[in-house]
Amino acid sequence: MKTLSDEQKQFLLSTIRDVPDFPKKGILFKDITTLLNHKEAFTLLMDHLHERYQEYELDYVAGIESRGFIFGAALASRLGVGFVPVRKRGKLPYTTVSEKYALEYGVDEIEIHIDAFRGTNKKVLLIDDLIATGGTALAAAKLIKKVNEELVEACFILDLTFLNGKEKLLPHTQVYSVLEIV
């Protein structure tokens, strides 16, 4: 199951709820909570990700706040590796390293603990639920490299391809998306 069949992809897509005009008018929000609470869909997804990444010899999975925590922690547990949360500024209690990124209306910042990976040159997979414009994901990729770790790949459950976020990441790492919304 290193690749999903079209039927499996359609099944997973069918479990994701569309919420119009959230968080603001004109946006069609992809709600993955309905995939998470569908035991067959969540199991299929996690089985697929486990099979894909079990041969990567990863040391860590890093998940972007907040939905990346769900997939990242579950996958890290299945792979028998550590999990590192990539958090919004001010949420971590110890010394951190940060990376800023542009928003359409300003700047935001994400961070990790300075000792999150317990060493250097560790093999890291970055994961989140969705890639849209790619700003947060690119900042997370740069942050992992900033602390001298090897970013093996960035993985997303959904890629909103029409927003071209993946293109921002490709100069920095390989990108894998389970599902694409065109």
Q: Are 114 and 96 in contact (CB under 8 A)?
A: yes
Catalytic residue (choose from 17, 78, 104, 109): 104
154, amino acid identity: A
- Pair type for strands 174-181 and 150-160: parallel
| 182 SS3 class | coil
Residue showing tokens 């199951």: 1
67 is catalytic: yes
Which residue in 83, 85, 150 sits closest to 120, CA to CA?
150
Q: Please identify which of the residues 67, 78, 150, 180 carries the catalytic annotation.
A: 67
Tell me if residue 104 is catalytic. Answer: yes
Query: How far, in Å, CA of 175 to CA of 155, rounded?
Result: 6
Using DSSP, state whether 116 is helix, strand or coil.
Answer: coil
Per DSSP, 93 falls in state: S
User: Known catalytic residues?
Assistant: 67, 104
